[in-house]
Structure 1
Amino acid sequence: MNTFDSPVVLEGRLDSGISRALWLVKWLLLIPHYVILLFLWIAFAVLTVIAWFAILFTGRYPRAIFDFNLGVMRWTWRVNYYGYAALGTDTYPPFTLEDVPDYPARLHIAYPEQLSRGLVLVKSWLLAIPHLMILAFFLGSGLYATQGTDAIAWSWGSGIVGLLVLFAGVVMLFGRRYPQGIFDLVLGIDRWAVRVAAYVCLMTDTYPPFRLDQGGSDPAGLVPPEPSMPSGEAVAPEPEPEPAPSPVGTGQQ
């Protein structure tokens, strides 16, 4: 039973038999994806600005832009799941914006028929601040500069997810299985981050909950089998077979 109704559904299936050492070079294998995603996210940002104005004046998110932006997020989630946001699979992510039903990582965001014209002014920054502060602790990583007595000292900091995934990788390197508890926690943080991203990027008015829904299966439900179908579009029913003609009676003359 679903614990709540969420327009964002993120799934991740932990593969069995993950390579012990492949994770050490996945950054290299993913370079083609990173290059393409760089340009896709630039387009994502530009289209989100266009969507902002469309929502402000019409209360609707243009469907074509929504589908493209969702595709970028799906592609990114598959790359992150293969890479260092989860290390959940060794199946190389496909180069596509479409949903891939047989890939271990899937994402769906329900298309909103109507969005608040006033909420669009504040939800991307003001209302999202509490979530962004928490996620900065979970996900934040980078190169930091601190002022010392004589010079500036540089240090590298990693978020909780980075440390958990690194620990899981070291465990697998020494021939052990991916710790299930770590996987469940990592997926919970990733799921929280994607819900907030969908809200910040104007793709839903549903405020993300402050909760870690751990595990590969999203409590909001399974990814729909046809997630790209526009809301309200119906599948044409198969024609019913015509009834067989009744046999003609053969009474005696």
Structure 2
Amino acid sequence: MVTGTSPVRMTARLDSEPSRWLWLVKWLLLVPHLVVLLFLWLAFPVVTFVAMVAILCTGRYPRPLFDFNLGVLRWTWRVWCYGYGALATDRYPPFSLDAEPDYPATLDVAYPEHLSRGLALVKWWLLAIPHYLVVAFFAGGGGFVLWQWDNGWDGGLVTLLSVFAGVALLFTGRYPRGIFDLVIGMNRWVLRVGAYAALMTDEYPPFRLDLGGGDPAPEPVTRTAHPTGVSPARTAGVVFGVLLLIIGAGGAAGGGGLLWLDGQRDTAGYVSIPAQRYDDGGYALRFDADDVAPVDRNWPWVGEFLGDVRVEISTVDSSPLFAGVADTADVVRYLDGVPHRRFGDYREHRGYRHMAVAGPMTATRPPSTPAGMDIWVDSVSGTGTLTLDWTPQPGDWSLVIMNAAARPEVRADVTFAATAPALEPVAITVLSTGVVLLFGGALLVAFAARPRRREHGDLS
């Protein structure tokens, strides 16, 4: 006998005459849903975090945020039941955050009038750890997402049993009832844990596998003056709001990172990247300015953006080095036919030397001594640590590092730095824009996902 009730109520109905073959192509039919769910699930933890702050302050879960998260769980459960989380129905799931009581897969969570402030801090990670271990076994990582961009398709034991049922359906035309009951029971466990981890209830999920499509909880959901109905316009509003939340979160994180970087200036006011060792068997290392710096060389205000540029070159052995800046066209002519190495993008001087590409060569020849060339707008030579200061100007410029005697085998530790006077205002602008978008997206989601009240006299 089942004792106790759960605020999470999930049901599923098995189609009486399911298609033998449709399950083979459902992965393709689910793509539109998976795209939308990807964005909804990116917003889900953000909304949950905002709700946690509200619970800590008021002891209540804001109703619009609760309805949005419940809508995401409902939508996911319908897709999961139609797809490879159960294969229980051939009825295509609706694009809706609403309850959809006529669909074969339903989910509801009783709205809590009050939640524990203290539990909000620990239940989603510490208290839920035992359940996470079970859910990971059931659902393959503890989630509902079928499409994992990097690792392929992984659905755990639930998906494995569902595919077994699909194979039986293909050859016999019948879905084994025992597999259905077990799969739905495991999904019910996962949904209860999901609602608990999303702070939607304080009731600890039972360690109980309630089999079958009918939920054992007898109490109906009581919705006091909050009948819902999400129109297509509201669904579009939620999706757009989620996009704003995602963009805003990226902007806020990016702006915060730029502000942190601005705070890492040295005593001379330079922002630098870590030193990187470069070595090559040729005669020269070549760095083009528009590859090294994340700016367009044709910007007329490139100097104001980067400010003063400083390059520190440290010799690895006792051989003297030469470093000079010249017009790229002059560098190409100087190194034409000379074995050398060009480092063509930012990643290459962050430890990806194998991605460097050889410079243009029509024949092999040793270069002239670099100090004797009149192409350099600024240069430095010697041993130890050399410092080359340069103010960028519009145009094509290149940095060349060579053995001062024009010998092969160039080895040096190189650090690029710039004063970047525009870094702080850019960081503040990006951060402020991200915060505004976050706030606007949260308002839009809250407005679009709020329950629609019945008009006076509406008995539907």
TM-score normalized with structure 2 length: 0.46
Q: Deviations over 1:90-138 (max 9, x none)?
A: 0000011111111100000000000000011110000000000111112
1:112-123 residue pairs with structure 2 within 5 A?
Answer: 112-123=112-123
Q: Deviations over 1:68-108 (max 9, x none)?
A: 11011101110000001000000000011111111100000
1:39 paired with 2:39, answer yes
Structure 2: distance between partners of 1:2 and 1:227:
28
Q: Decide which moves more: 48-57 or 37-46.
A: 37-46
Query: How far 1:3 moved relative to its partner?
Result: 3.1
Counterpart for residue 95 of structure 2: 95
Q: Deviations over 1:174-216 (max 9, x none)?
A: 0231000000000000000000000001000000000100000
- Which of 171, 193, 197 is equivalent to 1:196? 193
- Which of 171, 181, 202 is equivalent to 1:184? 181
Secondary structure of 2:70's partner? helix
Structure of greater relative contact order (alpha carbons < 8 Å, 6+ residues apart):
1
Give the 3 Å change call, closer, same or farther, for CA 155–2 of structure 1 in structure 2: closer
Structure 2: distance between partners of 1:2 and 1:228:
31
Look up the equivalent residue of 1:159 and give its one-letter code: G
Look up the equivalent residue of 1:173 and give its one-letter code: L
Structure 2: distance between partners of 1:228 and 1:7:
19
Gaps of 5+ in 2: 143-150, 228-453
Look up the equivalent residue of 1:110 and give its one-letter code: A
Larger radius of gyration: 2
Structure 2: distance between partners of 1:85 and 1:34:
13
Counterpart for residue 169 of structure 1: 166
Structure 1: distance between partners of 2:224 and 2:84:
26
Query: How far 1:223 moved relative to its partner?
Result: 5.8
Structure 1: distance between partners of 2:218 and 2:22:
31
Q: Deviations over 1:10-46 (max 9, x none)?
A: 0001111100010011010010000011111122221
Structure 2: distance between partners of 1:55 and 1:207:
17
Q: Decide which moves more: 207-216 or 41-50.
A: 41-50
Look up the equivalent residue of 2:70 and give its one-letter code: L
Structure 2 contact 51–62 (Cα < 8 Å) conserved: yes
Query: How far 1:168 moved relative to its partner?
Result: 0.2
TM-score normalized with structure 1 length: 0.82
Structure 2: distance between partners of 1:157 and 1:83:
13
Structure 1: distance between partners of 2:100 and 2:174:
26
Give the 3 Å change call, closer, same or farther, for CA 227–5 of structure 1 in structure 2: farther
Query: How far 1:237 moved relative to its partner?
Result: 11
Give the 3 Å change call, closer, same or farther, for CA 156–46 of structure 1 in structure 2: closer
Counterpart for residue 385 of structure 2: none
Look up the equivalent residue of 1:194 and give its one-letter code: L
1:61-80 residue pairs with structure 2 within 5 A?
Answer: 61-80=61-80
Report the aligned-residue RMSD: 2.7
Secondary structure of 1:207's partner? coil
Counterpart for residue 220 of structure 1: 217
Counterpart for residue 134 of structure 1: 134
Counterpart for residue 4 of structure 1: 4
1:106 paired with 2:103, answer no
Counterpart for residue 317 of structure 2: none
Counterpart for residue 13 of structure 2: 13
Secondary structure of 1:10's partner? strand
Structure 2: distance between partners of 1:155 and 1:91:
26
Structure 1 contact 10–223 (Cα < 8 Å) conserved: no
Structure 1: distance between partners of 2:195 and 2:61:
13
Query: How far 1:159 moved relative to its partner?
Result: 2.0
Q: Could you list the structure 1 runs, at least 4 aligned residues long, displaced by more than 6 angstroms after superposition.
A: 154-157, 225-228, 235-238
Structure 2: distance between partners of 1:137 and 1:96:
29
Structure 2 contact 128–193 (Cα < 8 Å) conserved: yes
Give the 3 Å change call, closer, same or farther, for CA 78–222 of structure 1 in structure 2: farther
Look up the equivalent residue of 1:180 and give its one-letter code: R
Secondary structure of 2:126's partner? coil
Secondary structure of 1:117's partner? coil
Gaps of 5+ in 1: 143-153, 239-253
Structure 1 contact 67–228 (Cα < 8 Å) conserved: no
Give the 3 Å change call, closer, same or farther, for CA 141–126 of structure 1 in structure 2: closer
